[in-house]
Chain A
Amino acid sequence: MLELRNINKYYNPGTVNEMCLFENFCLKVQNGEFVSVVGSNGSGKTSMLNIICGSIPIDSGSIIINDADISNMPEHIRQRRIGRVYQNPAMGTCPTMTILENMSLADNKGRTFNLSRGTDKKRVEYYRERLKTLNLGLEDKMNIPVGSLSGGQRQAMALLMATMTPIEFLILDEHTAALDPKTAELIMQLTDKVVKEKKLTTIMVTHNLRYAVEYGNRLLMMHQGVVIIDKVGAQKDAVAIDSILEKFNEISIECGN
């Protein structure tokens, strides 16, 4: 279980631009939940992910995973249990390294990076099989640099790499936002498949309301650092896009947009 307990987060504290994002923010995510998070810009969605991953510090409160407080754990240590895919497809891969080298890197997550051979020849077939599941023909281009792939191909690789080793949590930060509709659809299907296969506890931030409604078993809407809609299981299944859109309009009018 992942829990955020009484999180307080201010931006620019002590200046005229001081802005309170979270005040006593609490959230519990049960193991195996697939949470879709929607909300307007500045509502704190990405900040929440950054707080969970340790990319930004919190002012007070605690982050708890399976009863252990990880609030002071450095970002890279937390990543042992977390896989993360970013909005920018370039963030999840190394552009100057080949597909094969990228796969080898991802495969070694959680172990030591010592002076043994970077690519284990015996694993190459396994990488090829994994790449085949993407249906993008990447398995035939294993020796070309990832930088020469398209955004969609890179994002597919990033997803594959983030979920290659045993992890517990998958953090998706608008990971289809930079892709064309068709590729976005493909990446969403791949995501859903891998989440179900590996039984990952997933938090997905998205601006695509249809994805938020279609995928996952819990839906959150955030607004100004507060969760304003939280639908789980059967309740979520009953939610229609229109009703969310309505709520969206409501909060937008409040803000004067």
Chain B
Amino acid sequence: MSAFLSILRGILEEGLVYAIMALGVYVTFKILDFPDLSVDGTFPMGGAVTAVLILAGVPPILTLLISFLAGAVVGIATGIIHVKFKVRDMLSGMIVMTALYSINLRIAGKSNLAIFSQETIFDNAYLDRVIPEAFHPYLVVSILLVIVLIMKILLDVYLKTKSGYLLRAVGDNDTLVTSLAKDKGTVKIIGLAIANAFVALAGSIFTQKSGFFDISTGTGTMVIGLASVIIGTSIFKKLSVVKATTAVIIGSIVYKACVAVAIERGMQASDLKLITAVLFLIILVLSSDRKRRMKVNA
């Protein structure tokens, strides 16, 4: 396979993993209008939970579900801190993110865990038996595509339910939610739970794909997610046929492509966070809606 195709495959794989996380950030940032920083802790938490469970012999598929639920718990925690204890939205996320750093170390036992030789959703005896050898280079991309599509459709369907309507209403105009005789705080907590569940799921998949858990993988998660959401929604601003969730997934892939180009141009892998930050800054400056969105809710 040519070098170009290999790079393209790498971009797609990375982009799709982070797309699931970006869908979660889309829920908090765009729908709830809540700058949720806890995702920086939720992403590695999904990885830590997964690595430990896989080493303990839990089936890889099941670790996805458990990570998803663990993420939801984190979201509920952030939500309760914000809603019940009346802590500012950004601060609630910071508190949870900080606490999660230690919690993740507790879960994993150390700052990195390798699962190279273990079975994962991408590499197991069943897949080896069923999928022909020639298809193997595309296996990871295909599996990721299936998972991303399932999660996207689930989110789309949810947003069209009554509960989903209420979630959209609370970010838009929370007075209306009160007028509808519903507690806006509860709705926010549900939204944060969904968002963090998506992020933890992405963390689980990331760990299974890369074969290790590392405590530092979480740093910058929110920035990557925000960048993907803003790129996606800006590209398709004029095209209302493209659903926002689709736009976010494409945004994530475009973002990873930008990073790949930067690295191709001679940047080091250790410059990654710098690239992340600079790219995010460029995207913020180029997109016009930052002024409206950068407000901090009390």
- Would you call B172 and A79 a contact (CB within 8 A)? no
The residue on B at minimum CB distance from A105 is B165
* Residue pair A79, B162 in contact (C-beta under 8 Å): no
Nearest to B175 among chain A residues (CB) is: A91
- Complex contact B166–A113 (CB within 8 A): yes
**Contact assessment for B161 and A118 in the assembled complex, using a CB-CB cutoff below 8 Å:** yes
Assess the A97–B180 pair: CB atoms within 8 A.
Answer: no
* One of A30-38, A70-78, A123-131, A215-223 contacting the partner: A70-78
- Tell me the nearest residue of chain B to A112, going by C-beta: B162
Q: How far is the CA of A119 from the CA of B160 in the complex (A)?
A: 8
From B167, which residue of chain A is reached at the shortest CB distance? A113
Closest to B187 in A: A113
The answer to whether A5 has its CB under 8 Å from any CB of chain B is no
Nearest-CB distance from B292 to chain A (Å)? Answer: 12
Interface presence of A94 (CB below 8 A): yes
Chain A minimum-CB-distance residue to B162: A113
Assembled-state Cα–Cα distance A96/B172 (Å)? 7
Number of residue pairs spanning A and B whose beta carbons lie under 8 angstroms apart: 81
CB distance from A163 to the nearest CB of B (A): 11
Checking B158, B168, B173 against A115 with a beta-carbon cut-off of 8 angstroms, the contacting residue is: B158
Q: State which of A91, A93, A97, A117 has its C-beta within 8 Å of the C-beta of B161.
A: A117
CA distance A201 to B193 in the complex (A): 40
Could you tell me if B173 and A114 are in contact, using CB atoms closer than 8 angstroms? no
Q: What is the 8 Å Cβ interface bit string for chain B, positions 172-184, against chain A (1 contact, 0 not)?
A: 1101111111111
User: Which of the four size classes fits the interface of chain A?
Assistant: 20 to 34
State how many angstroms separate the Cβ of A194 from the closest Cβ of chain B: 16
Q: Is the CB of A76 within 8 A of B168?
A: no
Q: A80 at interface (Cβ–Cβ under 8 A)?
A: yes
Q: How far is the CB of A195 from chain B (nearest CB, A)?
A: 18
Evaluate contact between A94 and B168: CB separation under 8 angstroms: yes
Residues of A within 8 A of B179 (CB): 79, 83-84, 92, 109, 162
Q: Which residues on the B side are within 8 Å of A116 (C-beta)?
A: 161-162
Which residue from B158, B175, B180 sits with its C-beta under 8 Å from A108? B180
Q: B290 → chain A, closest Cβ, in Å?
A: 17
**Bound complex: CA of A86 vs CA of B175, how far in Å?**
10
Answer yes or no: A90 CB below 8 A from chain B CBs. yes
**In the bound complex, what is the Cα–Cα distance between A93 and B164 (angstroms)?**
16
- Indicate if the CB atoms of A115 and B161 lie closer than 8 Å: yes
* Distance between A74 CB and nearest chain B CB, rounded to angstroms: 7
Query: Is B66 an interface residue, CB under 8 A from the partner?
Result: no
Of all chain A residues, the one with the shortest Cβ separation from B180 is A109
CB-CB < 8 A to A112: which residues of B?
Answer: 162
What are 27 residue pairs bridging A and B, where the CB atoms are less than 8 Å apart in the complex? A75-B178, A76-B178, A76-B181, A76-B183, A83-B179, A92-B179, A94-B169, A94-B176, A95-B172, A96-B172, A97-B169, A104-B165, A105-B176, A105-B180, A108-B180, A112-B162, A113-B166, A113-B182, A114-B162, A115-B158, A115-B163, A117-B162, A118-B162, A118-B164, A118-B165, A119-B160, A162-B179
Give B residues with C-beta under 8 Å from A. 158, 160-166, 168-169, 172-173, 175-184
What 20 additional pairs, Cβ within 8 angstroms, besides A93-B176, A97-B172?
A75-B178, A76-B181, A76-B182, A86-B175, A91-B176, A94-B172, A97-B168, A105-B169, A110-B181, A113-B162, A113-B166, A113-B182, A114-B162, A114-B163, A116-B162, A117-B161, A117-B162, A118-B164, A119-B160, A162-B179
- List the 8 closest A-B pairs by CB distance, nearest first: A113-B162, A80-B181, A118-B165, A94-B172, A79-B181, A113-B166, A109-B180, A115-B161
